[in-house]
Amino acid sequence: MDGILTKLTPCDHRLSVHGLAVEVQCEVPALNWPIHRALGEFATPDWPDGFVPVPGQVQPYDESVVMRHLSPAAVAVASADDLMEIYEHEERFWLVDDRWGICEINLLKGNWQSWIVPQPTISPDAVVESAILWPLAQLLRPRGVTLVPAASVSREGFGALIISPFTIEPELTALAAAGWRVIGQRWTALREEDERISLLRMPGRVERVAGPRFRGTGEHAVDWVDLTEEYPEALSHHGFCDAVIVAEPGRRGSASSKAVKGAGVAALLKRAWPIFDLHVPSRQTYMPLRLAAQCAVVEAQLSRRASDFVNMLDRVRLSKPMVAPRGKVQPQIMPLRQPKQIPA
């Protein structure tokens, strides 16, 4: 009964996302469980003194309320995603998506709020990604944690970030079965530590396409699964990023890959980066450029056989020299030298 009541009532989710305080006040009861699946591992009863959370609200769509939050001076911003529109006015941005609703992000105040339409046309997990994780990614990045919709895996000290425009559940399942560890199935948190980029676990689920529902139709049954429940031994919380795999759109009959070198590395990562950044930071902190400088980058064509990707990633792992994390530099204390007098 308690679980049912929790699902049917508003909920205040207090979180510590890799050390950053986050508060999500949800007044759309149907999203409480999806929020818990996506962020429940970070739940905390409270934050230490001095911690100021990044606040966010999820509310039912009310046109009169939403209209008061919009600005007639807002202008459209170019976005790589054809399914959503982004508008900007000064420090405020609006993400508009007919499938689920609208989100307002205030970069200056560091808060956000989303309004959810009564009947979204996408799954609750997908609503959470767009209405909660997306604005969180914009506000946590200036605080040192970059959330990106990309998978990540590790094996024997080697870590890889996998950027793909389509679901790679078959490949992740094959990797888990082959002994690889899964850090992030759909989202990964990135943070620079010890002069290297860390891959940090983000819980959640991945889309599994089960094949056509009816013979002769192109419609496929889609289910959401947590691979770390099917392969508990494959769960991993942390790894260092040694390689970035960029999958080309679509699958082919055979797999192929090529290492990207020189100036093409940064250009490829900027073009393939799977999330639109409302505010691009300096070159020194922009994550695609940091990855280009520190990691091997491979452009991959995926096939219809998941085992091909496992073999490909094993080849990348074996060809990449391992880099040990750098320790902190210990300052050397030199003996004080007395100044010499100039001889008369």
**Are 152 and 97 contained in the same domain?**
no
Helix (H) or strand (E) holding 292: helix 287-294
> In the block, which residue shows the tokens 């207090």?
14
Ranges of H-type helices in 106-245: 124-128, 134-140, 169-177, 227-230
φ and ψ of 198, to 5 deg: -90, 145
Give strand pairing partners of 189.
147, 200
d(CA 23, CA 250) in angstroms, rounded, equals: 38
**Are 93 and 162 contained in the same domain?**
no
**Residues in the chain, overall count:** 344
d(CA 27, CA 8) in angstroms, rounded, equals: 10
| Domain assignment of residue 276, yes or no | yes
**Are 157 and 291 contained in the same domain?**
yes
d(CA 180, CA 186) in angstroms, rounded, equals: 16
| Domain assignment of residue 118, yes or no | yes
| Pairing outcome for strands 238-247 and 296-301 | parallel
**Are 273 and 161 contained in the same domain?**
yes
What is the number of domains present in the chain? 2
d(CA 251, CA 305) in angstroms, rounded, equals: 9
**Are 132 and 169 contained in the same domain?**
no
Helix (H, G, I), strand (E, B) or coil at 169: helix
d(CA 294, CA 341) in angstroms, rounded, equals: 50
| Domain assignment of residue 248, yes or no | yes
| Domain assignment of residue 53, yes or no | yes
Residues in CB range of 282: below 8 A, 6 or more apart = none
**Are 132 and 197 contained in the same domain?**
no
pLDDT tens series, the chain, 344 aa = 344 444 567 899 999 999 999 999 999 999 999 999 999 999 999 999 989 999 999 999 999 999 999 999 999 997 767 789 999 999 999 999 999 999 999 999 999 999 999 999 999 999 999 999 999 999 999 999 999 999 999 999 999 999 999 999 999 999 999 999 999 999 999 999 988 999 999 999 999 877 544 444 445 567 889 999 999 999 999 999 999 999 999 999 999 999 999 989 999 999 999 999 998 776 667 899 999 999 999 999 999 999 999 999 999 999 876 554 444 434 444 444 444 443 33
CA distances to 192, 277, 326 from 330, rounded to whole Å, are 20, 36, 12
**Are 127 and 167 contained in the same domain?**
no
d(CA 191, CA 240) in angstroms, rounded, equals: 10
**Are 133 and 162 contained in the same domain?**
no
d(CA 301, CA 292) in angstroms, rounded, equals: 20
**Are 50 and 66 contained in the same domain?**
yes
Helix (H, G, I), strand (E, B) or coil at 20: strand
**Are 135 and 248 contained in the same domain?**
no
With 0.85 as the threshold, say if the pTM is over it. yes
State the CATH number of the domain containing residue 235: 3.40.50.300
| Domain assignment of residue 341, yes or no | no
Full domain range(s) for residue 209: 147-319
Last residue of a domain, one of 113, 143, 173: 143
**Are 174 and 310 contained in the same domain?**
yes
- With 0-12 / 13-18 / 19 or more C-beta atoms within 10 angstroms meaning exposed / middle / buried, residue 289 is middle
**Are 87 and 200 contained in the same domain?**
no
| Domain assignment of residue 216, yes or no | yes
Indicate the residue type of 265.
V
